[in-house]
Structure 1
Amino acid sequence: MDRMAQLTLEQIQKKSLNRLVGLNPVFKIVMEKLIERCYTRGVWIVITQGLRTYAEQDALYAQGRNGDKRPKVTKARGGYSNHNFGFAADFALLLRDGRTVSWDTLRDDDKDSLPDWSEVVEEAKKLGLEWGGDWRTFKDMPHLQMVFGITTAQFRAGKRPTQAQLNAALAKINKTEDEEMTTEEKAAFNALQKRVIALEAANKLTKVPAWAEQACINAKAAGMLDTANDGSYDFYRMITLLDRTGVFKKGEGVA
């Protein structure tokens, strides 16, 4: 039997901090809210995967292929997963010892007759998240995402959610609250919207930085990028780093 640990919400949240770094600001807020909602229901969760580089994605794709005996864990190469753009995350249950994680979808630590996994998915959908367990093929039970109808091809081309879409996602969080917001809560929500707008504006660049121009040209020549316009600083930095590793060399591609 697990040794019981009494952890506060703050202690639970800290366990996921590193995996939330680099996520889209609004998606990050939604995932933080999910951790909080689950904790309120007596279910502890941790984020196990967040933003992935193309190289990290390719390493996962290689698992279970080309003689690798391990089971396959993804069907997406680098650039073909929503994890690569900061709009997806994976979770696991945190057991009552406060250290061990589990992917047991039938586990019921809070003893309310409903599997903890099902409670997490229920709260996730209330917040507007898509669940990989609903996919018809290659079901990904720990996977959650919020992509606003944008495909990975569009993400690669630099497309991102509009501010109206991001605002709607934030509003959905508050619509799921049981009680109407107080004046203070409404003020905090409005301040949060302004912070997100500022973050998005700061991250979006009007033109390709000079230091990233050749990398973008190489990426387009390799067929990995449709357009380089209106990307963020992090986007151009990622393209440049991939170019320096030789990913976009003619004839190589991403593998």
Structure 2
Amino acid sequence: MDKISNERILLLHPAIRLEVQNAINHINKNILGKGVRMRITQGFRTFKEQDELFAQGRTKPGPKVSNAKGGQSLHNYGLAFDICLLYDDGSGLFKEVSWDMKRDGDGDGIADWLEITKYLTSIGFTNGFITNGKKWDFPHFQKDFGLTWQKCFEKYNRKDYISGTIYIKL
């Protein structure tokens, strides 16, 4: 696994860390073919980081990238992560970053993104958010353990944490 993904996994909620690590290893070794790898681009986010993303396209320059304020995303509780695909540039290094959902970089006749999504959803992760019946955040995967962000926020405010950590009890 690449160092960046591994560092981001270590910040996820303890309840999903090992599962995400094992899933990425499985995807990269057994599902994606040679020349394609999956990477975690985002994992745990502080409320402040979430507020900064929310401000983008509103009070700060750039396109809107989030409809969630601090506390309103499962990223804020370490229960969500975003991904991208990395493609070998021909040198054996995975330098090309992609969010192309139709690309079949491993040439097996199935879009790489679809292969990842099918596997992660088969092991209990939800892909993207659904707003008004439409998915809009395809790089996003989460495991909510039956909790909404509102319930997570309540636990956060009550300081209902796993002892000695910043993570809420599930």
For Structure 1 versus Structure 2, the TM-score category normalised by the shorter chain is 0.7 to 0.9
Distance 1:52 1:33 in 2: 22
Structure 1 segment 120-159 matched on structure 2, within 5 A: 120-132=116-128, 136-137=133-134, 139-158=136-155
Structure 1 segment 30-69 matched on structure 2, within 5 A: 30-39=19-28, 40-41=30-31, 42=33, 43-66=36-59, 68-69=60-61
Render the CA deviation track for 1:18-70: whole Å, top value 9, x for unaligned.
Answer: 1112211231122112212221122410000000000100010011113x452
Distance 2:88 2:61 in 1: 33
The counterpart of 1:82, out of the listed 74, 78, 84, is 74
Q: 1:84 to 1:133 in 2, by over 3 A?
A: closer
Name whichever structure is richer in helix by fraction: 1
1:102 counterpart = 2:98: yes
User: Which amino acid in structure 2 is aligned with residue 113 of structure 1?
Assistant: G
Render the CA deviation track for 1:63-107: whole Å, top value 9, x for unaligned.
Answer: 1113x4522111000011000001000000011131221101111
Work out the percentage of aligned pairs sharing the same amino acid. 38
- Hey, what does 1:235 align to over in structure 2? 166
1:14 CA displacement: 2.8
Distance 2:65 2:49 in 1: 13
Paired residues of 1:37 and 1:123 also in contact (CA < 8 A): no
1:119 CA displacement: 0.4
Deviates more, 1:132-141 or 1:103-112: 132-141
Paired residues of 1:45 and 1:93 also in contact (CA < 8 A): yes
Report the aligned-residue RMSD. 2.0
User: Which amino acid in structure 2 is aligned with residue 112 of structure 1?
Assistant: D
SS at match of 2:16: helix
- TM-score, normalised on structure 2? 0.83
Structure (1 or 2) with the larger CA radius of gyration:
1
Paired residues of 1:92 and 1:101 also in contact (CA < 8 A): yes
Task: Please list every run of 5 or more consecutive structure 1 residues that lacks an aligned counterpart in the other structure.
Answer: 1-11, 160-224, 237-255
Render the CA deviation track for 1:130-182: whole Å, top value 9, x for unaligned.
Answer: 000655346101000001110112112227xxxxxxxxxxxxxxxxxxxxxxx
Paired residues of 2:6 and 2:21 also in contact (CA < 8 A): no
1:117 CA displacement: 0.4
User: Which amino acid in structure 2 is aligned with residue 106 of structure 1?
Assistant: K
User: Which amino acid in structure 2 is aligned with residue 63 of structure 1?
Assistant: Q
Distance 1:155 1:144 in 2: 17
Q: 1:94 to 1:88 in 2, by over 3 A?
A: same
Distance 1:72 1:101 in 2: 21
SS at match of 1:17: helix
- Hey, what does 1:72 align to over in structure 2? 64
1:126 CA displacement: 1.3
